[in-house]
A = this chain, B = another copy of it.
Amino acid sequence: MATVPPGDDRPTPAPRRLPDLHALELLVAVAQTGSLGRAAARLGISQPTASSRIRTLEKRLGLPLLQRATTGSQLTAAGVLVTDWANQVLEQADVLAEGIAALKSQLQGDLRIAASLTLAEHLLPGWLVAMRAHYPEVHVGLRVANSRLVVQALRQGEAELGFIEGPWTPADLQSLPVARDRLVVVTAPDHPWARRRRPVTGEELSATQLLLREAGSGTRETLERALRPWHGPSVPLLELGSTAPLRSAALGGAAPAVLSDLAVRDDLAAGRLVETSLAPGLDLSRTLRAVWPLEAELPAAAKHLLWIAQGGPAQH
């Protein structure tokens, strides 16, 4: 079983001031309707409440957001920026809400999806949000399981659509690649590997004590397959049951960690973690696929979901 760090009391992150999402939502509505009153109506609150909320928001931020007139209200320059940032927050909130709704429906949805953890965590909710624009009535049920169980769920008619990782595609299922996932070797910025220029070879990697997911996980399997020519990875320094503590350990800087690019993309962009380049012969990428029963005709919503998952109209 995973060894979880007993109590992680590391550097207290500066206490963050959380925004009031209701106020942000209102601000966006005002921007769109051009009037506090109409925005209030859209959100189902009274006009004075809206007025007060925005005023409180302005006071808390210390910025004027609206230019009020008897003809309506318009965003100020600061308001434009804040509204834009607010929209990003609300969009993520939608992703969260969509994920939760799907998770809650689990087995009862109109469209039942079974997905591996990586996909369910990092990609699927976003796709569901996009799908909702076209199929607002479809209730999605999401079940999270490893690849083997996903396939089993499809065969037993417990799900209409599945998402799995890995090369493996059973013959009795249709499949469509939807994305790729790279495993990356990451270290804290102060780890020696962060400064090295020479790519890490398979031999080196297999000789290094790493931070890894537990045996049996898809991530671990991919690594083991890639390192098979060098007789697999050595005994891990630490073996963890899920991605989050693994990421924490890597941030701590003890050793290089191997995990999905999707899980640390933000950390890499922000420079909190550094990716170690790999020698050409070392391929840690894998394909993420949608799978569904051969004989089944996918419902329209599912087809649309696949279209989105593939990258929509323009494959980037």
Contact = CB atoms under 8 A, between A and B. Distances in A.
Interface of A: 4-9, 12, 14-19, 21-22, 24-25, 31-35, 38, 42-44, 61-63, 74, 77-78, 80-86, 88-97, 99-100, 103-104, 120-122, 125-126, 129-130, 132-134, 136, 144, 189, 194, 242, 244, 248, 266, 268-272, 274-275, 277, 304, 307-308, 311-314, 316
Contact of A33 (B9, B42, B62, B88): B9
The number of times this chain is found in the oligomer is 2
A120 B84 CA distance: 10
Chain A at the B interface: mostly helix, strand, loop or mixed? helix
A195 B314 CA distance: 11
A188 to B, nearest CB: 11
10 tightest Cβ-Cβ pairs between the two chains A and B: A130-B270, A85-B96, A271-B312, A89-B92, A18-B21, A274-B313, A92-B92, A275-B314, A88-B92, A62-B104
Contacts of A266: 91
A4 B69 CA distance: 15
B19 A7 contact: no
Count chain B CB atoms within 10 A of each CB in A62, A100, A103, A308 and give the residue with the most: A100
B130 A272 contact: yes
A85 B89 CA distance: 12
A93 B4 contact: no
Contact of A100 (B12, B61, B103, B132): B61
11 contacts: A8-B34, A62-B104, A63-B104, A80-B244, A85-B92, A85-B100, A89-B96, A126-B269, A194-B313, A274-B312, A274-B314
Contact of A268 (B8, B89, B275, B312): B312
Contacts of A268: 312-314
Q: Which of A88, A132, A272 has the most CB of B within 10 A?
A: A88
A82 B100 contact: yes
B88 A312 contact: no
B43 A15 contact: yes
A91 to B, nearest CB: 7
A104 B74 CA distance: 19
Nearest to A194: B313
B97 A144 contact: no
B78 A103 contact: yes
Contact of A277 (B7, B78, B314): B314
Nearest to A41: B9
Contacts of A44: 15
Nearest to A18: B21
A14 B136 contact: yes
Contacts of A78: 103
Contact of A32 (B24, B61, B248): B248
Contact of A77 (B122, B144, B275): B144
Q: Which of A34, A42, A307 has the most CB of B within 10 A?
A: A34
Given A270-B312, A312-B269, A95 B99 contact: no
Contacts of A88: 92, 95-96
